[in-house]
Amino acid sequence: MKRKSEGKGCKNNAVSEFQVDKGTDDGSPLQSQESPQYIHYVSALKILSERLGTTPGELAVWGMMGWDFGGLDVYRNPKVFGPFAPLHYQGYFVADYRQLLVAWWFLLDQVKNFKPTHRYISSSQLIERWSEHPNLNMEAFIHCKIVEGELLDLHPSCGGTQWSKGDDFPPKEWAMFSLDQIKQIEAECFHEGPPSCKDEGDKQRLGVSAQRIIEVFSFWKKDRWKNILSRPGQWLEDARIGPVVHRKAALWNPAEVANCLWTYRLKYSEAANKQMRFAARLIPSKEELEKLVRENFPEWQQDWQPDLD
């Protein structure tokens, strides 16, 4: 969707009309051999809330992220716009994002099989979670962690809230927070912190940085890698070691990264989506991936176990 009119911040900018692009960002239509089954937002929320305890806010964040980044793909009404009509809602400055959710449709298979890699809670849930610390000035502490870059206040349509953006953005109660970031803060501030390594051998297997992954697997552009590693999708989840926290990136098992890349190439080299097909075909051969792991990460070579062709 594209915004029809702009205003400062997110106040009083109601959605009057949705615009939909039928196809991928590069203009190519998405196709499937079988007609997919869709469900409306209400049904999707019912399924996910019963199975996972999902809230509307958490589902909104998953829709914002999309399937490739650990969330769910969102579509317009397939009876009106046809199959695989993506819903581009970013740019609608609406404080109450529930106005947007009523137009959301999901793939039933995605919803039924969804295993979230990242969970999100609201401001009220976060305050309740930390209320066991009575001597803590809650609002000041949350604001401090946001300023320090350790906690990100998310909003599906505005990008942020008054926690970080000022009075022209949605009220603080509309913010959603990453549970990964929250647990990291709890480990550092409320407890003794993460356990240390038992010996020097363990330290060699703690994982490698995102920067090192980008340097070695350089067949994808740096910006693409940064986006993928900052919000890894389910296809890359097995390679991640520890949570992804804003400005405190996760560490990675480089051999598992190579395994995941090979699986991606096998799965998407002939995909209907041109962007995914192009990205898959940039991934080198199994032999070349194995060489990258062997020469750059010899201590991880035992984890190189690619799928069969």
Instruction: Look at residue 24 and tell me if it is in a domain.
Output: no
* High-pLDDT (> 90) share of the chain, %: 19
pLDDT at 90: 53
* pLDDT of the residue at 88: 64
Pairwise pLDDT comparison (156 vs 191), residue with the higher score = 156
Examine the domain organization and report whether 234 and 289 are in the same domain: yes
pLDDT digits (tens, 9 = 90+) for 168-209: 888 888 888 988 888 888 888 886 343 333 333 333 456 788
Give a yes or no: residue 266 inside a domain: yes
> Does residue 216 form part of some domain?
yes
Which of 189, 215, 232 terminates a domain? The answer is 189
Least confident of 12-21, 91-100, 102-111, 135-144: 12-21
**Whether the predicted pLDDT of 18 surpasses 60:** no
Q: Are 217 and 291 within one domain? A: yes
Q: How many domains does the chain have?
A: 2
What range does the domain containing 256 cover? Answer: 201-296
My answer on whether 177 and 206 are in the same domain is: no
More confident residue, 241 or 4: 241
Mean pLDDT (the chain) is: 77
pLDDT score recorded for residue 244: 47
pTM value > 0.75:
no
Out of 154-168, 189-203, 281-295, give the one with best mean pLDDT: 281-295
Between 48 and 18, the more confident residue is: 48
Is residue 254 in a domain? yes
pLDDT 10s digits, 91-104: 566 777 787 888 89
DSSP letter string, the chain: ---SS--STTTT---------SS-TTSPPP--SSPPPEEEHHHHHHHHHHHH---HHHHHHHHHH-GGGTS---B--HHHH-TT-B---TT---SSTHHHHTT-EEEHHHHHH---SS-EEEHHHHHHHTTT-TTS-HHHHHHHHHHTTS---B-TTTS--TTTS-TTS--GGG-EEEHHHHHHHHHHHTSS-SPPPSSHHHHTTS-B-HHHHHHHSTTS-HHHHHHHHHS--GGGGGGEES--BTTBPPEE-HHHHHHHHHHHHHHHTT-SSHHHHHHHHHS--HHHHHHHHHHH-GGGGGG--PPP-
